Structures are given as C-alpha cells and as structure tokens.
Chains A and B, each alone.
Chain A
Amino acid sequence: MSTNSTYYIPHKATWPIIGTVGLMIMLAGFANFLNGSSIGQPLMIAGLLVFVAMLVGWFTLQAKESESGMYNHEVGISYRHGMMWFIFSEIVFFAVFFGTLWYTRNLSVPWLGEGATKELLWPSFDAVWPTNGPGKVGGEFEPMGAWGLPFVNTLLLLTSGVTCTWAHHGLLAKNRDQLIKGLLATVALGFLFVCFQALEYHEAYSEMGLTLGSGVYGSTFFMLTGFHGFHVCVGAIILSVVLFRSTKGHFSPENHFAFEAAAWYWHFVDVVWLGLFIFVYLM
C-alpha cells in the first residue's frame, strides 16, 4: 500500500500567484480602457505579458517534470479529469450563446412582430430572420452565406481532425515522423482556418455592412464565431507546443497526456464549429 506516497505532490508553487496577478492587472487594465482611462492600455499589455510568461514558465515546468518521470499513472488520471471537466465548462460557455441564438430566433424576434408590440410599437416591423431588429440597429446589412469561406473552413477543420488522429496513431506506433508530420498538418490547417475567418470578417465589415453592431444577427454571429475563432487560435497554439515537444523527443506511447489533452481540445473546437456551421450559417 504505497500508492499515496508515489503520487507527486508539488511544493512551493510560484506560477499560480504570478498568473493571478498578471490576469488581474490585465483585466483591471481592460476595465480602465473601457472607461476611457489612458492607463488602461499599458496596464493591459503589462498584465498580458506577465500572464504569457506564467503560461510559458508553468508549462515548461510541467513538461520537465513529466519527462523526468515524476508523474505516475494516478497523476495522469487526475490531469485527464481536469482537462475533461475544463472542456465541459467550455461547452457550457458556448451553450449560452447557442441558447441565446435559439431564444432570439424562436421566441423574442417573433414576439416583436406580433400582438400589441407590433400594433403599438413597431407596426412596420417584419419579424423575419436574419434581422437587426425593428430599430434597424447598425443599418442595412447582408447576412453571411454558408457555401463560401465557411464551407471551406468546415472542410479544413474536419481534415485537421483526421490529421490529428493520424498523428496520434503515429505516436502510439512509435513512428515519430508520422507524429510530427500529422501535428504539422493539423497546426497549419488550424492557422489557415483562422486566416480564412479573418478574411470572412474583413468581407463582412467592408462589403456586406455586417458588423458586431448589426442588431441581434450581428451580435450572435460575431459572438459565436468570434469566441470559436479565439478557441481555434488557442487550440492551434497548444498543438504548436505539442509539436515543438515532439521534435524534442518528448512523449511515449504510454506517457503523452499533453498530446491527448491538446487533441481533446482540438476535437471539441471542431465539434463546436459543426454546430456553428449548421445553426449560424445553414439554418
């Protein structure tokens, strides 16, 4: 009975407090910036730098500890629990915005176009999706179609899911070359997705009149796709780190939690995109 004494309990953790202070400075800076204060921006940047330094430092430490064999099987299970429930919390976060889209399209917009609301407030409002509301907030706009860039992006992300799994098979078969090539392809597809999305946003703003301020259509469109795009960036950065570690010879078929966590995260981002493609673009 020695399972507890081989479970690695770290001591003297310095990164958590550094990360917390960085995040707090960044958010206090952002709040000051929104209030129009000139110290907002420098504070934000300083906080962000501290936060990024924490990420680099903490993950480097974890990678070193992992490679030196300090984590036993049970520690790995704890990390998997951690990642799994973190992704669950992210799913709930996205569910809020999907729920908002559903509520708006099926309840609040139809209510604006019927009964006393229509007669007394906005008699000329035609409650048809997509809409920027009876006040025509943000002016004329063109909704985003599904079959241009968004469809290409769907194919890109689906392919990246396949290359990610291919890399995993390489790792399990001790084929380092396949692991690195698979990860390289996944990261490249991920960043290409982000580039195309930037292009799509540019078109929306410059040619279609579609902005974050285009009533509730613009709000839900940019909020959902924007948070997703941010998550793609984060996922691609995580995969880049995993790629870098793979080139350094890290990971073995038995011990590669970081790869697994990154892959889970990537598949989560992938599935959210499928939801977006159906509910935001297609329907």
Chain B
Amino acid sequence: MSAAVDEHDHHADDHHDHGPEKGLLRWVITTNHKDIGTMYLLFALAMFFIGGTMAMVIRAELFEPGLQFVDPAFFNSMTTMHALVMVFGAVMPAFVGLANWQIPLMIGATDMALPRMNNMSFWMLVAGVLLLASTLFMEGGAPNGGWTLYPPLVLQPITVGKALPFAIFSVHLLGISSIMGAINIIATIFNMRAPAMKMMDMPLFVWTWLITAFLLIAVMPVFAGAVTMLLTDKFFHTSFFNAAGGGDPVLYEHIFWFFGHPEVYIMILPTFGVASTIIPVFARKPLFGYASMVWATASIAFLSFIVWAHHMFTVGMPIAGELYFMYATMIIAVPTGVKVFNWTATMWKGAMTFETPMLFSIAFVVLFTLGGFTGLMMSIAPSDFQYHDTYFIVAHFHYTLVPASVFILMAAGYFWLPKWTGHMYNEKIGQLHFWLSVISVNILFFPQHFLGLAGMPRRIPDYAVQFADWNMISSVGGFIFGASQLLFLYIVIDTIRGGTGEKVSDEVWEDAAKHGLEWTLPSPTPYHTWTTPPTIVPTEHVLDSH
C-alpha cells in the first residue's frame, strides 16, 4: 500500500513544483504548513528556555529563606511572566506547531485549509509575545499580580506600572492568533480529509486537536472580554469590578476561570492525542478502546466548561455553588480514568520496546495520573480550604504540565523529528535526557506537595525557616531539570544537522505505517505532500471500532 501511495506522490510532485523560497524571506511569507509548523515549534522551544530561565530565577531565590538575589516585586514579575510565557508562548504554540505539521500528513491533506491565515496566526503570536516581553524593560517592570491578573490587585499602581495595557493587548493578540489557528484546524479536519478517511478513522491526535480547537474558539474571546473590562476599569472609569459602583471583583474570577479551566484542557487534550499515537507504535498493538478515547476526550471538553469555580472555593460562594462545583469536578476523573486505563491496556501484553519517545510517554501516563490524583484531592471543597494558594496547588499543576504536556512534547519531538528531517537522533543522549528529566522533575516538584500541606503560600520570595529543607531540595531538582533540557536543545539541533548519519526508512519505527498515514510518506517529508489524496487509510489504530 505504501509503495503505491509514494509513487502517486512523486508523480504529482513533478508537475506541481513550488519549492521553498530562498533566504530568510521564505519564513516571513510562507504558507506551507510544514514551514509554519517548524516556526511554531522553534518559537515554542525558545520560549520554553526563556520561561525556564525565569523559573531558575524563582528557584534560586527560594533556595534559602531570606531575600538573596532579587527584590520582591521582580520576584512576583518572574512568577507572573513565567506562567504567561510558558502557557501562551511555549506549550500552546508547541501543540499548534505539531498540529500544523501532523494534521495534514495524518489525514491526507495537501496543506492547511486557509494557508494565508495560517501564516498570520503565527506572526500574531510573535507580536503578542513581543508586546508582553517588552514590559520586562519598562518603568515599574513586568506585570507582577499573578498570571490570572486578578483585580483589584492588578489595577493598583504598585502592581501595574506601565505594563498593564501592554499585557492586555498582548492577550488580545494571542487570542486572535489562537482563534485563527483553531478555525484553520477545524476547517482542515472537516474539509481537507482524504475522502477515504471517515471521522472515526482519524488518528486520536487529530480528534483531540479538533475538540481542542472548539475549546479555543469558545474561550479565548472570554479571556479577551475579561481583560477588556480590566482595561476600561483602569483607564475609562467603568465599575465592572468595583463594588462601590455596583460591580464585583469576584465576577472577574468567574469570567477568568470560565476561560481558564478549558484553557488547562487546551494544554492537555493534544497531549493525550500524542500519547495515544506514540504508545501503540512501541507496544506494537492497536490503541485499546479507540471509540472510548474519542468519547472520553469529548466528555472532558464538555465538563471543562462547567467546573470553573473549583479554582475559587475560598472566595466566598454560596454553599450550593461549592457543592455543585465539587461534584462536577470529581466527575472529570471518570473519562480521565478511561484514558489512563486504555493506555495501560494498550501496553498490556504488547511487544514493547523502550525508545526515548516511549519512555517519555510511559512517564507521562504515570506522572500525569499522580497530578490527576492531587487534583481530585483539591476538588473536595473543604479540603481545598487547606491547600488553596499553597505550594500543593503549584505541585499539582506542575505535575499535569511538566511531566505531562512538556514530556509529551519532548516525546513528540523524538517521535517525529526523524520523519521530518530524515535523520535519526542520538538514542543514547535521548535516553540520558529522559532519565535526567524524569528523576529531576520529581526532585523538583514532589517536595512541593509537602511544603503546600505544611502551609507554605505560593508567590512569595521569602518563607519561614521550617520550609527551608524541602525548598533547597526542590531548587536542586529544578537546576538539574533546567540544565538537562540543554541536552534536548542539543539533540534537536544535532538531528536537524544530520543526527547519527543513519538513513531512516519511510516508516522510521517498526510497522509504524500500520498506525498512521504520515509513515507511508518518504523521509524526510517532501515540501509538498498528498497532492493526490491517499485512497487507502491505515485502520490498525481504530481496529476495535470497526
């Protein structure tokens, strides 16, 4: 089957020859999904290191009690900017980059549906991040009221300086970028699929991104609306969040988390999709429970809209609200449990091998489950009163983001880089990177559970001496984790420039072509692919749904 497809493809390429432009301008005006995907991924990688540097500043300051390196306002800028840069600059764009590269390859489309808008989504992202980053060099410094930008704190002169309007317009630009990207993904999946591929034949990565794109369109305008009201409250005398004028600062929290909770699923659903793509290949089995995976993803997305106030149990809500949000939140554990069960069942009795992408994926299943369990602990409203705004919540969401989303992004890099570049990465260094990462990430974040339960508040540059030991251990883990990521940077550059020198096959991984269309294309992937759509699509990954 794969030979037939290749032949078609080469043949079509002969008289459809638009190679890439020469020089740097190629990247500025490109409409090619692979170029744009590459730009998203490299931009996200750069932001990962910038956001990571901010995390290193935070861990250095917290290495010992007392004020050592930075003043408290700058420390708070670092926590705020670290979050904004990692969420909007690193994790989200990295997944959009993967979507750009992989969705057309996986569904047999020749490109994204709206290629010019695709270019604009990327550059809007850069513009948004530039506006945000410019605040670091302003009088009064970058925003330091937390990434949630809660009023009234964020509207007070001491916390805004000159940064607030820049941060708000940056959110607007990032929102426009995300919405355009999401619209493109939806149009591509619905309209550009190879006629042979039915919806329930689509790889799970495509499914999870389809659902994520709906989440993005439904919540990015909500965030835009919320920060617009912050802007008018600050500069145009409105009273949305001012009790004296009849408004309510708690309203901002409701609106923010109506965006914010789906937002965390925007970062985790594509993670699930990549994990569901990688695990079957290295277990050499079809994905267990394909249809239930699709439904679980949709259920999680739906539930994400009706649980937002579990982020604000301590704000003073009516008891009926506390109870409703508590039970609704617990229900999320059910579809998430389905997923964890399915990944485990996929590996069960599989002929497993443990290449770097698989190692990261297995670590993801274990450590994400751990992060999920602490989430379940905090969904219990009366218990949350103890954990709220402590290092326990910091540990929780870092477990769901770092050894989950970030690990899976690394896994995706190892998994698809050989396909994209035609070069094999250095497996030894890859495994070293994995083991250093998985050990240090636990030294970094596990002790934060203890700190939180003992009552250490988040977002403070100094702390009581009783917290000293675990903070020091956490910081050591953080430095090792940060340094280990330089290995990943090295591997990415090395692989692009030739890697081990070994020529990779079209499949790259043993029998991968059974699992996904992208593996039937040549390695490295030609500049234009699927100019003729594939007539046969692999159904190994959806075997049990047929």
Q: Which residues of A contact B (CB under 8 A)?
A: 1-5, 7, 9-17, 19-21, 23-24, 27-28, 30-31, 34-35, 58, 74, 77-79, 81-82, 85-86, 88-90, 92-93, 95-97, 99-100, 103-104, 107-109, 111-112, 131-135, 137-138, 211-213, 215-220, 222-223
Contact = CB atoms under 8 A, between A and B. Distances in A.
A81 B187 CA distance: 6
A112 B245 CA distance: 10
Interface stretch (B147-155, B162-170, B276-284): B162-170
A78 B191 contact: yes
Contact of B182 (A31, A58, A85): A85
Nearest to B119: A16
A88 B217 contact: yes
Main DSSP-derived SS at the B contact region: helix
Nearest to A7: B110
Interface stretch (B235-243, B325-333, B380-388, B439-447): B235-243
A135 B222 CA distance: 28
B309 interface: no
Given A5-B532, A93-B224, A138-B237, A216 B172 contact: no
Interface string B200-222: 00000000000000000111111
A4 B530 contact: yes
A33 B247 CA distance: 26
Nearest to A108: B248
Contact of B183 (A13, A31, A81, A97): A81
Given A5-B16, A13-B119, A17-B123, A135 B245 contact: yes
Contacts of B533: 1, 3-4
Contacts of B226: 96
Contacts of A96: 221-222, 225-226, 255
B173 interface: yes
B237 A213 contact: yes
A212 B232 contact: yes
29 contacts: A5-B16, A13-B29, A13-B116, A13-B119, A17-B28, A17-B29, A19-B120, A30-B169, A31-B166, A31-B168, A35-B162, A74-B192, A77-B187, A78-B188, A81-B113, A81-B183, A81-B190, A85-B217, A89-B179, A90-B221, A93-B222, A104-B246, A108-B243, A112-B243, A133-B246, A134-B243, A135-B245, A137-B239, A219-B238
Contact of A12 (B31, B124, B220, B243): B31
A78 B187 contact: yes
Contacts of A27: 131, 169, 172-173
B410 to A, nearest CB: 30
Nearest to B226: A96
A132 B165 contact: no
A133 B130 contact: no
B244 interface: yes
Interface in B220-266: 220-222, 224-226, 229, 231-232, 235-240, 242-248, 250-251, 254-255
A231 to B, nearest CB: 13
A237 to B, nearest CB: 19
Nearest to B175: A89
A100 B251 contact: yes
Contacts of B65: none
Nearest to A111: B248
Contact of A212 (B173, B192, B236): B236
B535 interface: yes
B247 A133 contact: yes
Contacts of B172: 27
B165 A34 contact: yes
B111 A9 contact: yes
B229 A2 contact: no
A250 B244 CA distance: 56
B510 interface: no
A24 B61 CA distance: 34
Closest 4 pairs between A and B when the two form their complex, measured CB to CB: A135-B244, A96-B225, A133-B246, A213-B237
Given A5-B12, A137-B239, A16 B116 contact: yes
B531 A104 contact: no
A1 B188 CA distance: 18
B195 interface: yes
A90 to B, nearest CB: 7
Q: For A2, A21, A28, A97, which residue has the most chain B Cβ atoms within 10 angstroms?
A: A28
B186 interface: yes
Contacts of B352: none
A23 B121 CA distance: 13
A13 B121 CA distance: 13
Contact of A20 (B113, B124, B182, B183): B124
A103 B251 contact: yes
B42 interface: no
A97 B225 contact: yes
Given A13-B116, A34-B165, A138-B245, A1 B238 contact: no
B114 interface: yes
A22 B169 CA distance: 14
A92 B218 contact: yes
B394 interface: no
A5 B110 contact: yes
Contacts of B187: 77-78, 81-82, 85
A9 B115 contact: yes
Most buried by B among A11, A97, A215, A219: A219
A223 B166 contact: no
B127 interface: yes
A109 B250 CA distance: 12
Pick the most buried of A4, A78, A79: most chain B CB atoms within 10 A of its CB.
A4
Given A12-B29, A23-B127, A137 B221 contact: no
A219 B220 CA distance: 22
A104 B237 contact: no
A62 to B, nearest CB: 9
A59 to B, nearest CB: 12
A130 to B, nearest CB: 9
Contacts of B231: 34
A20 B116 CA distance: 12
Contacts of B134: 28
Nearest to B183: A85
A254 B301 CA distance: 38
